[in-house]
Amino acid sequence: MATVLIVDGANVVGSRPDGWWKDRAGAARRLHEGLVVADVPQDEVVLVLEGAAKGGVRAGRDGHLRTVHASRDGDSAIVAESRAALERGDRVTVVTADRMLQARVQGLGAMALSPSWLLDLLG
C-alpha cells in the first residue's frame, strides 16, 4: 500500500497573500519547485492545477511528484485522483482548505489536511 498526497494547487497558493493573483503560473511553478525537493512523508505527491496556473508547470511526472492539469475544475480532478488511488488500495491525504472538497474526499475514505500543514513543511 502506497501513501499519496494530493495537493489542491489553487487552494494552497491562494492561502498566502503574497501577490499570487498577479502571476498564477509563476505561483504554481514556485509551489511545484518546493514540492519537488520537499521531504514529505508520502510516497507520491500529486499536484492538481487548474486555469492559468497550468501555464507554469507542464503536466507529468518529476520524481515523486506528478502534476495533473484539471480538464474542468480542480475539485473534480482531485476527487477523481483520490478515488483512483483509494481503489488501488493506497492511503490518500488531500491538502485543501475547501470544506466542501474536504467532505467529498473524506466521504471516499481520504484524509484532509489544511494548506498550513503543507506550507509549514515546505518552510
pLDDT tens by residue, 23-64: 999 999 999 999 999 999 999 999 999 999 999 999 999 999
Angle at 57 between CA 56 and CA 63, to 5 degrees: 150
The pLDDT, as a whole number, for residue 16 is 84
Rounded to two decimals, the pTM is 0.96
Q: What is the CATH number of domain 3-122?
A: 3.40.50.1010
Q: How confident is the model at residue 118 (pLDDT cuts 50, 70, 90)?
A: very high
Contact residues for 61 (Cβ-Cβ < 8 A; gap 6+): 67
Cβ of 28: how many Cβ atoms within 10 Å?
Answer: 26
8 - beta bridge partners?
A: 48
